[in-house]
């Protein structure tokens, strides 16, 4: 099975459940896509077709088939929520854009401690650190304010922006890993349920195990502190994909649960399928919540400490051009 065939396999599970239930309960059997009533044991007809009579009327047959189809109709809805999962590949484009942004904001050589991706120094940013030499002749309140508000905090402010980019990158990577594992898990459930319907009446083969790797897809890691400013003690929320954290933050990943299931009837198998799918949904929701919490925390920090991320609007920008002497170096 594969995730792309999930809809087909959901239908396959439904058809198999209806067919096996009808046979177990009423000896109604399926042949060439049609349901037939149990043969009359005294009618002399061979089992499997061609019987001339049955104790079950045609109306009774239709009713039993209808009831069984309605009984297991919810199988389709069990899998419906997973038919439209995000494509993990769709995150590659945004991740590439964030990488470009991080490279532009990199004030010193940096290797992401989680993903291991290197980011070279953007040498163009160093021009700001020598801007003071260019405006040595500029004095007065405007000059001092420019130096205090823009030149001095420039590197720290840019580094904080880089941290935001890093957190966003790891969140995107965590989302990608989450949906990659969710696809694998739901496909595994479909495979195990289909197999269980073939073996529920076979002693020793009517139990199965489902592992939920999605549980370790997203890991909350130590929050990243900001640099400088009044918010030095404030940290942004951070998450990462489990596959990355496994290499650098051992011990922080929650062990993948392996749930055991067993059933001795069609109804029992489908009930366990519901349980397994609900367990997966809950695991996905918890993983998503980790990302939501981290992003909400980060957004709150950025909103509360805006000047540590974005330079204030220069006072001179609102002076207009009516005074040509505003902000010009002293000619004395």
pLDDT-derived band of residue 155, with 50, 70 and 90 as boundaries? confident
% of the chain at pLDDT higher than 90: 40
Max Cα–Cα distance, the chain, nearest Å? 123
The pLDDT score that the predictor gives to residue 322 is 57
CB-neighbour burial class of residue 32 (10 A; exposed 0-12, middle 13-18, buried 19+): exposed
Q: What angle is formed at CA 301 by the lines to CA 298 and CA 304, rounded to 5 degrees? A: 150
String of b and e for 256-295 (b: at least 16 CB within 10 Å)?
beeeebebeebbebbebbeebbebbbebbeebbebbeebb
The pLDDT score that the predictor gives to residue 201 is 81
For residues 176 and 48, the model is more confident at 176
The pLDDT score that the predictor gives to residue 46 is 46
- Is 85:183 a contact under the CB 8 Å cutoff? yes
The pLDDT score that the predictor gives to residue 45 is 47
Give me 232's structure tokens. 């030095």
The pLDDT score that the predictor gives to residue 228 is 65
Tell me the mean pLDDT in the region 193-216. 82
Query: Which helix (H) or strand (E) covers residue 28, if one does?
Result: none
Cα 104 to Cα 87: distance, rounded to the nearest angstrom: 28
- Kindly report, residue by residue over 261-281, the tens digit of the pLDDT: 788 899 999 999 999 999 999
Q: Are β-strands 207-211 and 258-262 bridged in parallel, bridged antiparallel, or unpaired?
A: antiparallel
The pLDDT score that the predictor gives to residue 181 is 93
Q: Which residues contact 296 (CB under 8 A, 6 or more apart)?
A: 237
pLDDT for residue 73 is more than 60: yes
Q: What are phi and psi of 217, to 5 degrees?
A: -70, -35
% of the chain at pLDDT higher than 70: 80
Give me 107's structure tokens. 């004030």
Tell me the mean pLDDT in the region 31-42. 85
The end-to-end CA distance of the chain, in Å, is: 82
Share the mean pLDDT of the chain: 82
Q: Which residues contact 191 (CB under 8 A, 6 or more apart)?
A: 1, 9
Cα 45 to Cα 303: distance, rounded to the nearest angstrom: 81
pLDDT for residue 331 is more than 50: no
Q: Which residue has the tokens 């046979």?
A: 23
The DSSP letter of residue 147 is I
C-alpha distances out from residue 182 to 18, 192, 223, 303, Å: 27, 15, 26, 33
Tell me the mean pLDDT in the region 34-46. 74
pLDDT-derived band of residue 193, with 50, 70 and 90 as boundaries? very high
pLDDT for residue 315 is more than 50: yes
- How many Cβ atoms are within 10 Å of 251's Cβ, its own excluded? 6
The DSSP letter of residue 72 is T
Greatest mean pLDDT among 215-224, 241-250, 283-292, 315-324: 283-292
- Kindly report, residue by residue over 213-240, the tens digit of the pLDDT: 898 888 887 777 777 655 556 788 888 8
Cα 98 to Cα 166: distance, rounded to the nearest angstrom: 8
- Kindly report, residue by residue over 83-107, the tens digit of the pLDDT: 989 999 999 999 999 999 999 998 8
Tell me the mean pLDDT in the region 307-318. 78
Give me 37's structure tokens. 């009533």
Q: Which residue has the tokens 């009516």?
A: 322
pLDDT for residue 42 is more than 80: no
Beta-bridge partners for 211: 258
Cα 184 to Cα 243: distance, rounded to the nearest angstrom: 15
C-alpha distances out from residue 97 to 94, 104, 111, 155, 218, Å: 5, 11, 17, 22, 21
pTM of the predicted structure, to 2 decimals = 0.81
The pLDDT score that the predictor gives to residue 10 is 93
Instruction: Please state which of the ranges 43-47, 91-95, 120-124 shows the lowest mean pLDDT.
Output: 43-47
Q: Name the residue ranges covered by the structural domains of the chain.
A: 1-82, 85-121+155-312, 122-152
The pLDDT score that the predictor gives to residue 141 is 80
Distance of CA 147 to the CA centre of its chain: 44
The pLDDT score that the predictor gives to residue 209 is 81
Give me 306's structure tokens. 């805006």
Cα 181 to Cα 185: distance, rounded to the nearest angstrom: 6
Tell me the mean pLDDT in the region 63-74. 95
């Amino acid at each position: 099975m594969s995730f792309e065939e999930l809809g087909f396999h959901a239908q396959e599970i439904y058809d198999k459940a209806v067919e096996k239930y009808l046979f177990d309960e009423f000896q109604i059997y399926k042949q060439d896509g049609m349901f037939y009533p149990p043969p009359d044991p005294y009618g002399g007809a061979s089992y499997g077709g061609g019987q001339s009579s049955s104790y079950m009327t045609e109306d009774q047959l239709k009713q039993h088939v209808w009831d069984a189809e309605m009984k297991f109709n919810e199988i389709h809805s069990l899998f419906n929520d997973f038919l439209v999962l995000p494509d993990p590949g769709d995150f590659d484009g945004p991740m590439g854009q964030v990488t470009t942004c991080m490279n532009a904001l990199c004030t010193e050589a940096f290797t992401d401690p989680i993903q291991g991706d290197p980011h070279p120094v953007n040498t163009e940013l160093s021009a700001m650190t020598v801007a003071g030499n260019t405006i040595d002749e500029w004095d007065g309140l405007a000059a001092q304010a420019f130096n205090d508000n823009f030149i001095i905090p420039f590197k720290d402010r840019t580094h904080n922006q880089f941290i935001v980019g890093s957190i966003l990158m790891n969140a995107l990577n965590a989302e990608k890993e989450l949906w990659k594992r969710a696809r694998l898990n739901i496909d595994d459930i479909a495979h195990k349920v289909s197999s269980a319907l073939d073996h529920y009446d076979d002693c020793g083969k009517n139990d199965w195990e489902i592992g939920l790797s999605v549980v370790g897809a997203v890991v909350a890691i130590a929050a990243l502190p900001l640099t400088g400013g009044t918010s030095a003690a404030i940290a942004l929320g951070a998450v990462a994909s489990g596959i990355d954290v496994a290499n650098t933050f051992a011990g922080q990943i929650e062990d993948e649960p392996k749930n055991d299931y067993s059933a001795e009837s069609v109804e029992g198998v489908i009930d366990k399928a519901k349980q397994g799918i609900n367990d997966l949904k809950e695991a996905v929701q918890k993983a998503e919540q980790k990302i939501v919490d981290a992003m909400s925390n980060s957004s709150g920090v950025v909103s509360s400490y805006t000047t540590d991320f974005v330079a204030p609007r220069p006072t001179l920008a609102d002076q207009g051009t009516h005074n040509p002497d505003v902000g010009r170096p002293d000619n004395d």
